[in-house]
Amino acid sequence: MSVTSERARLTDLPPAPAPPPFPTGTQRLPMAKALNLGLRRALANDPRTLLMGEDIGRLGGVFRVTDGLFAEFGDDRVVDTPLAESGIVGTAIGLALRGYRPVCEIQFDGFVFPAFDQITTQLSRMHYRSQGRLRLPVVIRIPYGGGIGAIEHHSESPEALFAHTPGLRVVSPSTASDAFTMIQQAIASPDPVIFLEPKGRYWEKGDVDLDAPLPAPHGSPTDLDHARVVRPGTDVTVVAYGPTVATALKAAEAAAADGTSIEVVDLRTISPLDTATVAASVRRTGRCVVVHEAPVLYGTGGEVAARITEECFYHLQAPVLRVGGFHTPYPVAKIEHDYLPGLDRLLDAVDRTLAF
């Protein structure tokens, strides 16, 4: 065999045009573009940050989230990897041990499972088992959730599997603005972060302040741990995250027309759970519905419901209800809207809690 002294490089294509200047000010952007700019800023700010994944280079990712970054930062920083998820995460662990900050892209939610071993047995606990000597600032970006008419394994909601694993932080933005900020916070975090991108929201636009510094409410640019009340209300608290925040806001709009005031809490972080923000809301409203796309059984909603019951029992006017997917494999695209918790299912749960 021939062994070259340099790594093989992709030099057979003409050079890409120079990247556009980094935009400034507040812009209305789709979430995918906001993520792209967040990644771009992180790459520009820290030469030890690098992206790795399948098709993220010249193609710019199957959702184009990494569009243009290969041309700007080169193949050492935006790495097209072999088609091997365990290899992506496993080598990212090694790179992190060497002082790099890898951001791995898993192409679709259903393909994270070959890497599940590396994430749960290695990535999540190396800090712990080394008594804090080793840090693994690795981000695993996963487009997740349904609603885009995809085929099997392209629409899954595995958040509870990761949230159940100590050592991982699990977050999901619901807006373009949060996507821009939170991806940078995730990369800055010294802990491994499972960064769940609601793929059905990639093309939804929102205002993004591109000049805003990373929020540091507790003095740390890595503080990711806060839920947010995104719509105040007085009758029922609806807890949502990622793709279901938009559903919750629509439900609140519809319920308002019927005279019901829904408060919507966007969890933003699934692990650790910001119980305080949710509990404060439930103490105001006395009622709570949790909504997510993942199956209800053993899901995030169960954890929220249990904690709210423990903390707010005497404030509750009704049991905490859960709305989500069924205990079935994710169904085929033609009936996925019957599986996903939509406006009607959510409003039905709101009505049930008000009927107690």
Partner 1 sequence: MSTTVPAADGPLTDDGLVQLLTPTGERVGHPEYDRWAADLDGDRLRAMYRDMVLTRRFDNEATSLQRQGELGLWAQSLGQEAAAVGSGHALRPQDHVFPSYREHGVAHVRGLEMTDLLRLFRGVDHGGWDPADHGFHLFTLVIGSHTLHATGYAMGVQRDGLVGTGDPARDTAVVAYFGDGATAQGDVSEALVFASVNQAPVVLFCQNNQFAISEPTTRQARVPLAARAPGFGIPSVRVDGNDVVASYAVTRQALERARSGGGPTFIEAYTYRMGAHTTSDDPTRYRTSEQEEYWRRRDPIERLRVHLERTGELPEVFQAQLAAESDAFGEHIRTTVRAMGHPSPHTMFDHVYATPNAVVDAERAWFTQYEQSFVDHDGRRTAGGHR
Which residue from 59, 84, 212, 306 is in contact with partner 1, where contact means CB under 8 A?
Answer: 84
How far apart are CB 79 and partner 1 at their closest, in Å?
9
Q: Which is nearer to partner 1, 157 or 189 (CB)?
A: 189
Q: Which is nearer to partner 1, 91 or 353 (CB)?
A: 91
Instruction: Answer whether 43's CB lies under 8 Å from 77's CB.
Output: yes
Q: Does 86 bind partner 1 (CB under 8 A)?
A: yes
Q: Does 217 bind partner 1 (CB under 8 A)?
A: no
Which residues are catalytic, by number? 154
- Closest by CA position to 241, among listed 211, 196, 275, 207: 196
Neighbours of 3 (CB within 10 A): 4
Q: Does 7 bind partner 1 (CB under 8 A)?
A: yes
Binding to partner 1 (CB under 8 A) within 62-81 occurs at 76, 81
Q: Does 14 bind partner 1 (CB under 8 A)?
A: no
Task: Kindly state the DSSP code that residue 120 receives in the 8-state scheme.
Answer: I
Instruction: Answer whether 28's CB lies under 8 Å from 205's CB.
Output: yes
Q: Which is nearer to partner 1, 72 or 117 (CB)?
A: 117
- For 86, the enclosing helix (H) or strand (E) is helix 85-97
Binding mask 173-212 for partner 1 (x = CB under 8 A): ----------------xxx---------------------
Residues in the chain: 356
Specify which residues 28 forms β-bridges with. Answer: 207
Q: How buried is residue 217: exposed, middle or buried, by Cβ count under 10 Å (0-12/13-18/19+)? A: exposed
Q: Does 309 bind partner 1 (CB under 8 A)?
A: no
Distance, in Å, from the CA atom of 87 to the CA atom of 93, rounded to the nearest integer, reads 10
Under DSSP, is residue 329 helix (H, G, I), strand (E, B) or coil?
coil
How far apart are CB 165 and partner 1 at their closest, in Å?
11
Query: Interface with partner 1 by CB under 8 A: which range of 12-20, 33-41, 115-123, 315-323?
Result: 115-123
Show Cβ contacts of residue 235 under 8 Å, excluding neighbours closer than 6 positions. 260, 261, 262, 285, 287, 354
How far apart are CB 263 and partner 1 at their closest, in Å?
21
Q: Does 296 bind partner 1 (CB under 8 A)?
A: no
Under DSSP, is residue 289 helix (H, G, I), strand (E, B) or coil?
strand
Q: Does 219 bind partner 1 (CB under 8 A)?
A: no
Amino acid at 199: K
How far apart are CB 121 and partner 1 at their closest, in Å?
5
Binding to partner 1 (CB under 8 A) within 121-160 occurs at 121-122, 125-135
Q: Which is nearer to partner 1, 85 or 336 (CB)?
A: 85
Q: Which is nearer to partner 1, 38 or 192 (CB)?
A: 192
Distance, in Å, from the CA atom of 103 to the CA atom of 73, rounded to the nearest integer, reads 14
Q: Which residue has the tokens 């503080």?
A: 223
Which residue from 154, 169, 287, 322 is in contact with partner 1, where contact means CB under 8 A?
Answer: 169
Distance, in Å, from the CA atom of 62 to the CA atom of 197, rounded to the nearest integer, reads 13
Instruction: Answer whether 318's CB lies under 8 Å from 287's CB.
Output: yes
Binding to partner 1 (CB under 8 A) within 246-285 occurs at 271-276
Contacts to partner 1 by CB under 8 A? 1, 3-8, 50, 76, 81-82, 84, 86-87, 89-100, 102, 114, 117-118, 121-122, 125-135, 166-167, 169, 189-191, 218, 220, 222-223, 225, 271-276
